Amino acid sequence: MKESISLTWRRIPERYRMVGSRCTACGSHYFPPRQICPSCRRKGKVEPFEFCGRGTIYSFTEIHSPPEGFEKQVPYVMAIVELEEGTRCTGQVVDVHRKDIKIGDKVESVFRRILSDDPEGPIHYGFKFRLKK
């Protein structure tokens, strides 16, 4: 997978610090950020919100057949994480074997390399999760 440098640069707040958004009209949180709150639409007011990165495993899988760019990482665990603030996002869970994870486990975000295009290309960083001790 190749991703443009400008896209990676544009997503730095979201990927490095989990900056999403919050609607001050209804209190809903969104990650990744949205320009419009789907509940309030144009009556809502959306502002940036930094998530704490803690949450619980809502569902998970272990990927054995990877997409391009992830060949060297298999097998790896992916999860939908329910964040403490009340929305969900998708990310890898690191340093864990499939048998040691279950729905409901507590996790926290960590800063990791997601992938690199090729040996001389840019390295794309972002958040992953690990089980909270």
Partner 1 sequence: MVMRKVAIIGAGMTKFGENWESGFREMVTEAGIKALTDSNVKGDEISAGYVGTMASGSLVGQEHVGALIADYMGLNPVPITRVEGACASGSLALRQGILAVASGLHDTVVVGGVEKMTDLDTNAVGRILGGAGDQEWELFMGATFPGLYAMMARRHMHEYGTTEEMLASVAVKNHYNGARNKYAQFQKEITLESALASKVVADPLKVMDCSPITDGAAAVVLAPLDSASSYTKKPIEVMASEQASGTLALHDRDSITSIKASRIASGRAYKKAGLSPKDISVAEVHDCFTIAEIIATEDLGFFSPGEGGRAALEGRTRLEGEIPINTSGGLKATGHPVGATGVKQACEVTWQLRNDAGERQVRDVEHALTHNVGGSGATSVIHIFRRGY
Residues that bind partner 1 (CB under 8 A): 1, 3, 7, 11, 32, 58-71, 73, 76, 78-80, 87-92, 98, 103, 114-115, 124, 126
Q: 25 or 62: whose CB is closer to partner 1?
A: 62
Q: How far is the CB of 5 from partner 1 (least distance, A)?
A: 14
Q: 51 or 60: whose CB is closer to partner 1?
A: 60
Q: How far is the CB of 25 from partner 1 (least distance, A)?
A: 19
Q: How far is the CB of 29 from partner 1 (least distance, A)?
A: 12
For residues 104 and 113, the answer to whether their CB atoms sit within 8 Å is no
Q: 41 or 133: whose CB is closer to partner 1?
A: 41
State phi, psi for 62 to the nearest 5 degrees. -115, 120
Q: How far apart are CA 30 and CA 20, in angstroms?
A: 6
Q: How far apart are CA 99 and CA 114, in angstroms?
A: 23
Residues facing residue 81 across a β-bridge:
57, 89
Q: Identify which of 43, 44, 46, 40 has the alpha carbon closest to the alpha carbon of residue 20.
A: 46
Q: How far is the CB of 68 from partner 1 (least distance, A)?
A: 5
